[in-house]
Amino acid sequence: MTTTASHRGRRVRRRDDAGNAVVESAILAPLFVLFLAALLVAMRIQHGSAVVSQAAADAARHASIARTAAQARADATASALATLRDKGLHCTPQVTLDLSDFARPVGKEGTVTAQVRCVIQLSDIALPGMPGSRTVTKTHRSPIDPYRGR
């Protein structure tokens, strides 16, 4: 297993390293796969969060330019659903709107608040100990057009 050799008057021991690469690979390969899976989960959550944030911004903006609260609700919900669908996020969102400032008279400032909640599925990644889904909630505000017609 070990051999001795003379190297300028010193004895140097050499070890036979045959087979160590296989053992190292067997130990490191599962860790590498686990790292890649965790990276995939993080990327999916980050992408989902960005898309839900964009859907909330779109919903608030569409609601803010509507003429009535009823139209604002319909436009905001349709806009949020379209954004989620266009960006490839498959979830059933909850769109909550605060349209109370629509009661103000025309010419008075106000805001619309849109909150979009979406459940991002992680079950297809299937990591041990990983939850099957993650709920992402984003809120956005947009000023109501003070000179909107009715």
The answer as to whether 99 is a domain residue is yes
| pLDDT, tens digit (0-9, with 9 covering 90-100), for 93-130 | 899 999 998 888 777 888 999 999 999 888 777 666 66
The answer as to whether 31 is a domain residue is yes
Characterize 109-142 residue by residue with b for buried, 16 or more Cβ atoms within 10 angstroms of its Cβ, and e for exposed: ebebbbbbbbebebeeeeeeeeeeebebebebeb
Task: Tell me the two tokens of residue 9.
Answer: 């008057």
The answer as to whether 112 is a domain residue is yes
User: Helix or strand or coil: residue 112?
Assistant: strand
The answer as to whether 126 is a domain residue is yes
Q: Can you point out the beta strands (E) in the chain?
A: 3-7, 10-14, 94-98, 111-121, 133-143
Residue that wins the pLDDT comparison between 51 and 2:
51
The answer as to whether 125 is a domain residue is yes
Quote the domain boundaries for residue 90.
20-144
The answer as to whether 12 is a domain residue is no
pTM: 0.75
Give me the number of domains the chain comprises.
Answer: 1
The answer as to whether 86 is a domain residue is yes
Distance CA 48, CA 92 (A): 13
The answer as to whether 15 is a domain residue is no
Task: Tell me the two tokens of residue 138.
Answer: 């984003």
| pLDDT, tens digit (0-9, with 9 covering 90-100), for 127-147 | 666 668 889 999 999 998 777
